[in-house]
Chain A
Amino acid sequence: MRTNHKFDVLVLGVAVLALFGAAVARAEDQLDAETKARIDKFEKGPATIDVSKYPQGIQDNYETFSQKCAQCHKLSRPVNCDYVLPDEWSRYVKRMMRKPGSGIDSADGKKIYEFLTYDSSVRKKVMLDDKLAKLTPDEKAAAEAKIKEVHDKYDNK
């Protein structure tokens, strides 16, 4: 009997919170709708990556990534977003690390970039190949060289 009672209270609590949340969400200032929809979609995905099969160095870099990036936004955003090319990651990481007070120095930035580039070439392989195919031959070669550079640095070590 007692547990049933608790369950009822829980149901009520959840219902109240849901209604309240809906009201707050609706009242919130509208960010650029397209960007917001993109971010929302990414943030709904998982917030962690199974790195157990990655080389040790990349696993260490994953730690840096988790720690630094979660200071300002959900990890599910970069984990599920559609950035995969080395240049996209380097631009994005530099944009973040240049924000005053980011606490990311260039050594950290490099680790995060290497992790994201490595991870994209494994976990987001399909998306990466798709994007590589759309580049000019020169750009494609440059991007592949950057991916190879990261793999050469960490694989089999």
Chain B
Amino acid sequence: MSRVTLPMSDELKSNLSQPSDAGPTASRSTVPIWIIVLTLLLLFLGAVYFDRHSGWFDKQVYAPYTSAEQLASYQPKSGAASMLTHGKAVYETYCGLCHGSDGLGKPGQAPELAGSEWVAKDITSLARIPLAGLNGPIQVKGRDWNLSMAPMGASLSDADLSAVLTYIRESWGNKNGAVSVDEMKAARAAISGNAPTAADLAKMTPVERGHAVFQKYGCFQCHGQEAKGGVPNPNAKTAEQVPGLIYVADGYTKDELKTFIRRGERNIPMLHPDGPPPPHFMPSWSNVISTNELNDLADYLFSLKPKGDNLGF
């Protein structure tokens, strides 16, 4: 097909010859102040919206609830359901970090609880794990583990422990039955059955009694036998281990030490700030340990400073 050339009109020709002034042009000018004001206002409103509707990013709070308090007000107050919600809250605080919210554990660190034969055992055997910790080799669902678990539940009440064990025994497909507060009380008594009697304690010195307290609450599980330290705590700034306690007499007054034990330390500084939080932390013992026990414990810990070691400075 041959090309057809249309004759161009004169008007068109004259338009082509001059530069067009109809196109868009760009020029610099300041951002109008109202845009800045509007943006700040929107940011502010956004923040207010988040504040009112997100429960401040609390992972338990989803719309339409606006705060943890409101959410709690809708929870069942009694019966089996309340035991499970209470247990879940305790679980997420103390166990979930390692054993996972899904109960599947963490490879190389914490075995799964879903379908675990240890969860199905008698209540005393199961309760011994959070109460006393678990160190050394263990087999779970046919896989070998070498554990160093702290006595995460040693500072919990019977109500908290029975709730969390019930939650573990009744979640993720587990059907092992609830644990009542009375059963938990009996299990705790059975586990601490080899503790010294009151008559024994009366004959002991404060340091000896303090040692018994150290054993009773499982302090050695994290701070090591005779408080010499060395238990791994991955990503803790303290050389990835739980500190030993033999030099506390140098670094604390007895009152400072007792205050620290009562309060605990939930936030362990991290070696790598982007890494995972260290699994072990110092629980608060204020609701667990008696004043006399705490005094004896401080005496025991102060007695540990190596003799003749004036290494201070």
Contacts and interface: CB of A to CB of B under 8 A. Distances in A.
A98 to B, nearest CB: 4
A31 B269 contact: no
Interface of B: 28-31, 36, 39-40, 43-44, 46-47, 50, 56-57, 229, 237-241, 243-244, 247, 250-253, 263, 266-267, 269, 311-313
Contact of A100 (B28, B40, B229): B229
A19 B43 contact: yes
Contact of A23 (B40, B50, B253): B50
A21 B200 CA distance: 56
Given A19-B43, A100-B229, A94 B28 contact: no
Contact of B251 (A2, A16, A23, A94): A94
A2 B27 CA distance: 11
With a 10 A CB-CB cut-off, give which of B36, B250, B313 has the most chain A CB atoms: B313
A106 B250 CA distance: 12
Contacts of A11: 36
A130 interface: no
Contacts of A26: 56
Contact of A110 (B29, B241, B243, B313): B313
Contacts of B252: 91, 95
A98 B243 contact: yes
B256 to A, nearest CB: 8
A5 to B, nearest CB: 6
A110 B311 CA distance: 10
Contacts of B251: 91-92, 94-96, 98
Contact of A5 (B31, B44, B263): B31
Q: Is the interface of B mostly helix, strand, loop or mixed?
A: loop
Contacts of A15: 39-40, 43
Q: Is the interface of A mostly helix, strand, loop or mixed?
A: helix
A93 B244 CA distance: 17
Interface of A: 1-2, 4-5, 8, 11-12, 15-16, 19, 22-23, 26-27, 29, 31-32, 72, 90-96, 98-101, 106-107, 109-110, 113
A19 B244 CA distance: 41
Given A1-B29, A12-B39, A19-B43, A29 B266 contact: yes
A98 B247 contact: yes
Given A15-B43, A90-B312, A98-B243, A2 B28 contact: yes
A11 B35 CA distance: 12
With a 10 A CB-CB cut-off, give which of B28, B31, B56, B252 has the most chain A CB atoms: B31
Contacts of B40: 12, 15
A96 B46 CA distance: 43
Given A8-B36, A91-B252, A94-B312, A23 B237 contact: no
B255 to A, nearest CB: 12
Nearest to B238: A100
A100 B241 contact: yes
A94 B239 CA distance: 17
Given A23-B56, A98-B251, A113-B313, 10 more contacts: A1-B30, A2-B28, A12-B40, A27-B57, A31-B266, A91-B253, A98-B247, A98-B250, A100-B243, A101-B240
Nearest to A26: B56
B280 to A, nearest CB: 13
26 contacts: A1-B28, A2-B28, A5-B28, A5-B31, A8-B30, A8-B31, A8-B36, A12-B40, A15-B39, A15-B43, A19-B47, A23-B47, A27-B56, A27-B57, A31-B266, A32-B263, A90-B312, A91-B251, A93-B313, A94-B250, A94-B251, A95-B252, A96-B251, A100-B229, A100-B238, A113-B313
Nearest to A105: B311
Contacts of A19: 43-44, 46-47
A112 to B, nearest CB: 9
A110 B194 CA distance: 45
B250 A91 contact: yes
B43 A101 contact: no
Nearest to B250: A94
Given A91-B251, A94-B251, A22 B30 contact: no
A92 B57 CA distance: 37
B43 A4 contact: no
Nearest to A2: B28
